[in-house]
Amino acid sequence: MQRRSSTILLIFLALAIVISTSGCEKLKVSRLKANHHFSRANTFYADKHFRDAIKEYELALKYNPQLVDAYRYLGESYKQFFKAGVDTPENMEYANKSIAALTKALEIDQKNRNVLYSLGEMYNRMRNFEEAEKLYLRIVELDPANLNNYNILADFYSGYSGENPELMKKAEQMYFRRIELDPETAESYAFVAQFYKNRIKYEAKIAFQLFDLSNKFNILRSKLEPDNYIPWFAIGVNRFDKAFTLRNILTYDEKEILGNASKEALLKAIELEPDAPNPYIYMSILYLNVYAKIFPEKEEIMLAEVQRWRDRYDGKKKKQVEKERLEQELRGRR
């Protein structure tokens, strides 16, 4: 009797092993198939064949429903067909399928910052401010030390702000938070300077202050990067832009002061990077649109300066184009 019981137990154990092994084999095969279709889908995605990519991502998910990146790129693929502002059933179907796939990816991996950003971007393109903001704030919450996350939020708020001072303030706060985290990173000051420059078209009444605020951060950047010509070029452009944009309300003395500050900064940029063409063309523009206007009695001299700087720009630009052509040829030979 005991021998018979042992025999039955061995049979059950053998069956269990067979079933377990069979299940493992099926799982292994499914994973292999999922990876195969996922790899094909990625190739289609890279080649911008998004309809083919969608089919392959869906097949990959059929064999492995937990493949986060398959859901992510399935959502990205549908996103490629979505046209912002177009209110048609077909367009909304693309949006909904994109959101469904990305939401599923987020359910599987709730801390995946790539998925959070991708889903936030989709809501942003649909102009769903509330949902997009939640996701972008979540990105910052998960990785508060990543400076670029503050740029994402700042750009997001700026895109909705228009003449909304509350959202402008939120964008400004994000840029300032980035500076607080790493005050030695010059790029952070460049972002703030550009932010104030962009605000001028929305807040013409305080254009004076915005030009100067923008320039303040250009100057701070130049102190962190004294050998970089770009901050000096930005200062030169800023001072010229203020003189030209506000030419109808500035006095001649004010325009001359701004013109001199622009010239000084542009000459510094040229000293640091003699082959960069743009400072030369701005010197030409400065003489034409500022100095020639405030010194009409010296118009002939000023126009000669305009031509001199334009000729120098043409020479530098030609040299730059030739250099880029040669570099492209060398890359093609490798």
Kindly state whether residue 173 falls inside one of the protein's structural domains: no
Kindly state whether residue 238 falls inside one of the protein's structural domains: yes
Kindly state whether residue 306 falls inside one of the protein's structural domains: yes
Kindly state whether residue 257 falls inside one of the protein's structural domains: yes
Q: What is the mean pLDDT of residues 110-126?
A: 95
What tens digit of pLDDT does each residue of 20-41 get? Answer: 444 455 556 778 888 999 999 9
Kindly state whether residue 16 falls inside one of the protein's structural domains: no
Domains identified in the chain, total number: 1
> What pLDDT sits at residue 186?
93
What tens digit of pLDDT does each residue of 3-20 get? Answer: 555 554 444 444 444 444
Task: Answer for the pair 16, 35: CB distance below 8 angstroms, yes or no.
Answer: no
pLDDT at 183 over 60: yes
Against a cut of 0.85, is the pTM above it? Answer: no
> What pLDDT sits at residue 25?
54
> What pLDDT sits at residue 175?
94
What tens digit of pLDDT does each residue of 69-99 get? Answer: 999 999 999 999 999 989 899 999 999 999 9
Kindly state whether residue 334 falls inside one of the protein's structural domains: yes
> What pLDDT sits at residue 205?
79
Residues 6+ apart with CB under 8 A from 193: 214, 215, 216, 217, 218, 221, 234, 238
Kindly state whether residue 82 falls inside one of the protein's structural domains: no
Tally Cβ neighbours within 10 Å of residue 222: 23
Structural domain for 280, as ranges:
227-334
Kindly state whether residue 281 falls inside one of the protein's structural domains: yes
